[in-house]
Structure 1
């Protein structure tokens, strides 16, 4: 299993921004809902914006994110 941690500055209240990669986007969103999260919105038909029970928002997506080199 490969694990990556990428840091990104955000302009909202959350202290961190999580992206959760999934092989099956709909199945992953349903599993997260079963754990108490809710779907807050679908972004570009590629990412689910999810919200944890404590209000923290995070993304679930299928493809690997490719970030520009700094």
Structure 2
């Protein structure tokens, strides 16, 4: 099945975990998009944090803690 969205990360990430993506080296990252009007002076449009694993299952488990940190 081919994905027509043009995004590389969508090929590696199941639809149930849209906040996870895998680098070209196989390491999983958690990603949170920063809304444009959330606060002024935001230098980034998204926040990313390495989960330090190449295992998708472990990345899902680690992502809960990391996403909590990124969204607070």
Structure number, greater radius of gyration: 2
- Larger strand percent: 1
The verdict on a shared fold, with TM-score over 0.5 as the criterion, is: no
Q: TM-score with structure 2 length normalisation?
A: 0.28
Greater relative contact order structure (CA < 8 Å, 6+ sep): 1
